[in-house]
């Protein structure tokens, strides 16, 4: 159950970060699109895709051992709490 909660949190964070990145890049590289394009995301496909991307990346990293490897070798698990 903990793994699923972690995966949901990673999915939500991916949606938030992906939306912010899309907004920032969109403001730098804006184009004049037809009015019909305003409703392209009415079903929130981008947000759903970002959520499942983060969700499945977390699940895949857990089952392939990437999370364990990162915890042993990465910076996140090596810091001492004060």
Phi, psi dihedrals of residue 33, rounded to the nearest 5°: -100, 155
Could you tell me which residues come within 8 angstroms of residue 57 by beta carbon, excluding any fewer than 6 positions away?
10, 14
Q: Is 44 left (phi over 0), alpha (psi -120 to 50) or beta?
A: left
Residue-wise pLDDT for 11-33, tens only, equals: 999 999 999 998 899 888 877 87
Total-model pTM = 0.78
Residue-wise pLDDT for 35-80, tens only, equals: 777 777 778 888 999 999 999 999 999 999 999 998 888 887 876 6
Buried b (16+ CB within 10 A) or exposed e, 45-66: eebeebbeebbeebbebeeeee
C-alpha to C-alpha distance for 37 and 40, rounded to whole angstroms: 5
Model confidence at 82, pLDDT cuts 50, 70, 90, reads low
């Amino acid at each position: 159950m903990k793994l699923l909660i972690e995966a949901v949190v990673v999915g939500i964070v991916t949606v938030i970060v992906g939306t912010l990145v899309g907004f920032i890049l969109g403001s730098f590289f804006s184009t004049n699109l037809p009015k019909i394009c305003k409703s392209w995301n009415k079903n929130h496909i981008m947000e759903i895709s970002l959520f499942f991307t983060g969700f499945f990346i977390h699940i895949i990293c857990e089952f392939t051992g990437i999370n364990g490897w990162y915890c042993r070798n990465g910076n996140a698990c090596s810091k001492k709490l004060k």
